[in-house]
A and B are shown apart, each in its own frame.
Chain A
Amino acid sequence: MAAEPLVAASAADAPFSVSAGPVLSLRGIVKSFPGVKALQGVELDLYPGQVTALIGENGAGKSTLVKLLTGVHQPDEGEIRVGGRVARFPTAAAAAAEGVTAIHQETVLFDELSVAENIFLGHAPLNRFGLIDWPRMRREAREILARIGADLDPDAPLKDLGIASKHLVAIARALSVEARVVIMDEPTAALSHKEIGELYELVERLKAQGKAILFISHKFDEIFRIADRYAVFRDGGMVGAGLMSEIDERRLVEMMVGRAMDSIFPVRTPQIGEEILSVSGYSHPTEFADVSFTLRRGEILGFYGLVGAGRSELMQALFGISRPSAGICRIAGEERSPRSPAEAVEAGLVYAPEDRGLQGAVRALPIFQNLTLPSLGRISRAGLLRKAEEFALTRHYAERLDLRAASLDQPLGLLSGGNQQKVVIGKWLATQPKIIILDEPTKGVDVGSKAAVHEFMAELAAEGLAVIMVSSEIPEILGMSDRVIVMREGRMVGEYPRAGLTPEILVRAAAGIGAGGAS
């Protein structure tokens, strides 16, 4: 049924006035996940022929909202209205049937299938024998592609296309259902400058066709360029909405971050010692360029930036997971650029990764085997394991970290996220490092354990350990760091002492608004 032109409107007869009623409305939406209230009382209206920008920090609830609108999750409370009627989206297909479609950050497409097959996967037009009606599918694919101004052959295999063209296919796929509401989740994140220009044209076209567009972005320049309205999310609630013409950058940023510091962070009097790490000119072919900084004993250095700013990639290069293309790393004055994690650990630099399940922990193995894995050389004699020593070492760190577990022999994967993180941190402390890098140390960690991790981080610094903390949470960055480095698109864009640092400065530097900081 996707063949008919969605709205046969030319730009001329589409003067959708601001006063036209919303095509989609959210009223009092509440959504909780175990331990977290992701959305609380969200109200949002989307108007035909208008772009509404959805703005908020990481974790503000934007992704959850998209999932509710596309049938992935169901709201616990509240209602979704489409064209004034209450609608339910129990499945992705139901959302599509109501005319809500989404272009995701990373759409799942199939390289081995053709452009047309990708566009119509799951809802291909059928002939009377129930088989795919190929001529009609090609024709309709061509029509949709023409409508978004994409010059692509419907029969071309997807693997032959470039990233930008694949993105167009993803958009065509989203528009192959009769859409009234189009959600674009950071659509420009992977695009080049020229492609972004083309995307803007496409957005204008969709507006002219009368579609309501929800545009999620971290980039203020593009929000001001294409959005008609804004909605700001913070901590799962909407804190402000209105017309773009009636707001400026400064007030948007205030709304995004203007929370009271609701978490309590440990009070510290940092005892900053001698320099332990010095990185100069660190570069990577694709992920980061020309990063230089130093770190002192007893210091907590925060790395802030948007997701994808290259912070984790930088830390993994320092840890020897990937090789830098240029740059020098000095640990305690000695020039050592680790070529493997094993070398980094020997040099006294350890890294607790963001992705605990995949990189940080061997979840099927018991707690004690995880904890001793990097220190086996120290607890063994002539390569032979000594179980008593293993348990003693594990017990020491389990007690220091206030671990909650049934036994030290329990598989690590059975513990809560916070307790898994404690084991990962404990495993590195057992190697007696000089420098510990914690990448999003409280991500997926419940509130209680979060405070324990912060408390512990402060203790470590007080004992003279040098700590690097990568975090996308502004309160955590401000609450824990002695000094903050902001990265954007693989480069350092600012370095700030804690004193006088405000959320506004961080957000502006990370999003590239105005001048960055002094470096």
Chain B
Amino acid sequence: MTMAPTPRHIPDRLNGSFLRRLKSWETLLLAVAAAIFTFNALASPYFLDPWNLSDATFNFTEKAMIALAMALLIIAGEIDLSVGAIIALASVAMGAARQMGVETTGLVLIGAGVGLACGAFNGFLVAGLGLPSIVATIGTMSLFRGIAYIILGDGAYGGYPASFAWFGQGYVWGAITFELALLAVLAVVYGVLLHGTNFGRRIYAIGNNATAAAFSGVRVRRIRMTLFMLTGLMAGIASVCLTSRLGSTRPSIGMGMELEVITMVVLGGVAITGGSGTILGVMLAALIMGLITFGLGLLNVPGVVMSIFVGILLISVIALPRLLERMRR
């Protein structure tokens, strides 16, 4: 068999990209977000007030920052359950440093640095020692939170400088908060990182088949380590924002936040088994969760009901495509 004299032509892509976008998960999420927005606007006269809307962004901005890095981690087939505890440890570290007279710049660096260090420790356990990430980070979840409790006991740290408050309470332009602006910038950075760089491509390869990725010369352990460090760093940054917004530190800060972050990532269309998902999806999911929480809050629905709502939403959004698929057969 000889090589064909004129090579056959294989098109780059088959479907037009417009059609593909129309059928995507992100389109579904956008429709859900628009529906909830419309419903909220009709149900409550206070919803469309810009300052109310701006306030409402606080219930997802910090979580969404962590969700950006967590999305990369989950796409790579790993997970980090310790992010809530990292927030607590970073916050306690900032509180303790404040007691020693550290100023705003130092506090921010400490918060982010502790997050980065915690992430590096998780990365060491998973990428270095080869522990399964779900087990390793359940362990560090208790460990980090435990250290926070030992340092702080039942007390609270406060007395943060006025300039520190800006990170959680400041506005950059009109009703746009610093946190929302930071999230927007980070979302663009992570979007480019995941979808436009070598690093992002390798994340997908690892998440789909880590063995084949390693056999293709991808430095799998180094990338896993980097992803855990990024997740820790984002938890540290979220801790700065949250501590600044609350103005005080208790050891229970950020408790249970890891599950909300992971919910956001999964709702955003990231496969919990790894290998697929987009930053746009995760950000839309963050928006949806924020809108639901805010809308139900305006209607004076208690928090417990909100969590039921989010649970039902998550299950139905995940189940719907599979049910449709099954009905088609």
Contact = CB atoms under 8 A, between A and B. Distances in A.
A69 to B, nearest CB: 34
Interface in A111-165: none
Contacts of B199: 383
B3 interface: yes
B197 A407 contact: no
A410 B11 CA distance: 10
A409 B219 CA distance: 24
B197 A383 contact: yes
Interface string A335-377: 0000011101100000101000011111111001100111011
Contacts of B4: 402
B105 interface: no
A403 interface: yes
Interface in B180-221: 192, 196-202, 204-205, 208-209, 211-219
B208 to A, nearest CB: 5
B8 A404 contact: yes
Contacts of A455: 1-3
A10 interface: no
B290 interface: no
B179 to A, nearest CB: 28
A363 B209 contact: yes
B217 A361 contact: no
Nearest to A375: B217
Interface stretch (A28-36, A216-224, A236-244, A391-399): A391-399
Contacts of A363: 208-209
Contacts of B214: 321, 341
Contacts of B323: none
B13 A407 contact: yes
B10 A403 contact: yes
B211 A364 contact: no
Contact of B212 (A359, A380, A410): A359
Interface in B1-41: 1-4, 7-8, 10-14
B14 A406 contact: yes
Nearest to A396: B7
A405 interface: yes
A384 interface: yes
Interface string A228-270: 0000000000000000000000000000000000000000000
Chain B, interface residues (CB within 8 Å), range: 20 to 34
A369 B196 contact: no
Nearest to B13: A409
A399 B198 contact: no
B268 interface: no
A448 interface: yes
A362 B208 contact: yes
Contacts of A427: 216
B119 interface: no
Nearest to B14: A407
A451 B315 CA distance: 51
Contact of B8 (A321, A384, A402, A408): A402
B8 to A, nearest CB: 7
Contacts of B201: 369, 372-373, 376, 385
Contacts of A361: 209, 212
A385 B8 contact: no
Contacts of A374: 216-218
A383 B199 CA distance: 7
Contacts of B123: none
B275 interface: yes
Contact of A384 (B7, B12, B197): B197
Interface in A388-424: 391, 395, 398-400, 402-410
Interface string A488-516: 00000000000000000000000000000
Given A380-B197, A402-B3, A407 B10 contact: yes
Given A372-B201, A406-B14, 4 more contacts: A351-B215, A374-B218, A384-B196, A402-B3
14 contacts: A342-B217, A342-B218, A358-B211, A359-B211, A364-B276, A369-B205, A373-B213, A384-B196, A398-B10, A402-B4, A407-B13, A407-B14, A408-B11, A455-B3
What are the nearest 3 A-B pairs in CB distance?
A: A399-B7, A345-B217, A376-B198
